């Protein structure tokens, strides 16, 4: 047989073998075991660690009829209105065998009483350990129990890839513990507008109201995220759900275990802005990516490292940075005490900088509540420290007095002042310290000219008494 005929026969044989193999793959199953594909083993492993969270708070209710003495006498009700209990329902995840539960902060915000119901129907009271509004996470502890609870292990959410299969577990619409499955649709959604740290896992696993605080797990039964929000026009799942990555959850849980009441994160000391197509073109970039340094606080980790205005941050510890939100997340999940290495473009050249990972200094705030009759009555104000500026997302280089809380029903609330408003001037007088605002608020005035900074925008208003 010639060499050509031999090669032809060999190729024909391989083709027939491949066709036979494909035919075997397509054969009719002969037993139930050959068609059984189930997530049941993962679900059985995970569901004992997913809980229902019940929160209740008492709010004052004012009915104008209660002001009528005839109404009160006729119906036998006391004056001044009454109280109403508002309840909310969400989900949570046991992350420590001692009874630590992670959930969303918005599930338990303002609650007077919190209860946790386990998958086996047992119910326990829980106490608040730590709340972190910036990440919308809260940590609870089951009260008075010496037993060991089932807890989920954290996955490395940075290792998650688009297309990975995930399971979402929670209590949607209060129907009871429910499991749904889907894939990871995106791993770094940064334009969602839910929390300060805009960096979410997006999934098409069905997530509905009541799932908030529940678990998003991989097929190894490890926690990859905490379900926190849905995109919906109807109130139900439309295939777009968002979860807080496990690496951020891990930071909050570690803080709770250390016994602190607030989460301490690294402070950069620089204000960043996104790269627009126009800026990208002016810098000669192939595409708009990175975080542009808009300003640097001199006495800060960024200032000491040598960062300057107009520097473009490209990566942190080798992880590419797409925008300022991505940098904020990456930087915030770094452990305190070490250093981070930044790749920065300056003047067309790529440079390396080492930034210390340290918390923002928390200088004395001198907090006080404005009590004098004025537009600010009922507002709790504070001097602006680097730590407070970082917490409220305010440029630390800005001078002024910040509103940190507002009493319910106060004149300050009725006029629309908000937490985070920075008071710059009142009646043409510059406000540098809390005592400046307290002194001016105590002066009677028929006209109030007020300038504040909110969300980076300066606003001025004139109020007449």
- Look at the chain and count its residues: 465
- The alpha-helical segments, DSSP class H, found in 76-204 are 105-108
> Cβ distance 252 to 132 under 8 Å?
yes
- Measured between alpha carbons, how far is 322 from 363 in angstroms, rounded to an integer? 33
- Residue in the structure block whose two tokens are 């590419």: 320
Q: What is each CA distance from 120 to 177, 404, 433, in whole angstroms? A: 10, 42, 55
- Quick one: which of 51, 151, 139 has its CA closest to 95? 151
Residues forming a β-bridge with 244: 226
- Residue 413 phi/psi, 5° resolution? -70, -45
- Measured between alpha carbons, how far is 152 from 137 in angstroms, rounded to an integer? 17
- Measured between alpha carbons, how far is 336 from 121 in angstroms, rounded to an integer? 40
The encoded tokens of residue 430 equal 């510059």
What long-range pairs does 248-251 form, CB within 8 A, spacing at least 24?
A: 248/135, 248/137, 248/157, 248/197, 248/199, 248/329, 248/332, 248/333, 249/95, 249/102, 249/137, 249/154, 249/223, 249/225, 250/154, 250/333, 251/332, 251/333
* Residue 432, Ramachandran bin (φ over 0: left; ψ between -120 and 50: alpha; else beta): alpha
The distance from CA 153 to its chain's CA centroid, rounded to whole angstroms, is 20
- Measured between alpha carbons, how far is 147 from 166 in angstroms, rounded to an integer? 30
Active-site residue set: 106, 136, 212
- Measured between alpha carbons, how far is 378 from 367 in angstroms, rounded to an integer? 13
């Amino acid at each position: 047989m010639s060499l050509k005929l031999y090669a032809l026969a060999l190729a024909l044989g391989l083709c027939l073998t491949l066709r036979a193999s494909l035919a075997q793959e397509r054969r009719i199953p002969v037993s139930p075991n050959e068609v059984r594909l189930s997530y049941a083993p993962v679900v059985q492993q995970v569901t004992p660690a997913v809980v229902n969270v019940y929160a209740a708070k008492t709010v004052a209710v004012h009915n104008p009829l209660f002001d009528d003495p005839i109404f009160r006498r006729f119906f036998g009700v006391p004056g001044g209105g009454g109280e109403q209990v508002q309840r909310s329902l969400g989900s949570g995840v046991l992350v420590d065998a001692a009874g630590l539960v992670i959930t969303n902060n918005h599930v338990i915000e303002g609650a007077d009483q919190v209860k946790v119901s386990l998958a086996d129907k047992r119910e326990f009271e829980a106490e608040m350990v730590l709340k972190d509004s910036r990440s919308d996470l809260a940590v609870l502890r089951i009260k008075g129990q010496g037993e060991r609870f089932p807890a989920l292990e954290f996955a490395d959410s940075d290792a998650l890839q688009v297309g990975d299969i995930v399971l979402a577990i929670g209590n949607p619409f209060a129907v009871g513990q429910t499991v749904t499955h889907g894939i990871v649709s995106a791993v770094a959604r940064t334009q969602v507008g839910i929390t300060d740290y805009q960096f979410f896992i997006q999934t098409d696993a069905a997530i509905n109201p009541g799932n908030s605080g529940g678990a998003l797990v991989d097929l190894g039964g490890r926690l990859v995220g905490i379900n926190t929000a849905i995109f919906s026009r109807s109130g139900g799942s439309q295939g777009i759900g968002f979860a807080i990555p496990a690496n951020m959850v891990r930071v909050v849980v570690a803080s709770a275990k250390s016994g602190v009441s607030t989460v301490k994160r690294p402070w950069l000391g620089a204000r960043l802005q996104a790269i627009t197509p126009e800026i990208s073109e002016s810098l000669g970039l192939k595409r708009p990516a990175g975080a542009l340094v808009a300003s640097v606080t001199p006495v800060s980790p960024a200032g000491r490292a040598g960062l300057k205005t107009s520097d473009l941050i490209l990566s942190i510890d080798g992880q590419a940075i797409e925008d300022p939100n991505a940098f904020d997340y990456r930087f915030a999940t770094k452990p305190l005490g070490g250093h981070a290495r930044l790749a920065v473009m300056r003047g067309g050249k790529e440079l390396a900088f080492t930034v210390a990972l340290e918390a923002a200094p928390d200088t004395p705030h001198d907090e006080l509540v404005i009590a004098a009759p004025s537009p600010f009555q009922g507002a709790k104000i504070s001097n602006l420290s680097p730590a407070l500026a970082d917490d409220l997302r305010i440029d630390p280089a800005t001078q002024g007095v910040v509103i940190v809380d507002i009493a319910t029903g106060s004149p300050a609330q009725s006029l629309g002042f908000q937490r985070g408003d920075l008071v710059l001037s009142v009646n043409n007088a510059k406000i540098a310290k809390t005592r400046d605002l307290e002194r001016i608020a105590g002066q009677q005035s028929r006209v109030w000219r007020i300038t504040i900074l909110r969300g980076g925008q300066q606003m001025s208003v004139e109020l007449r008494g």
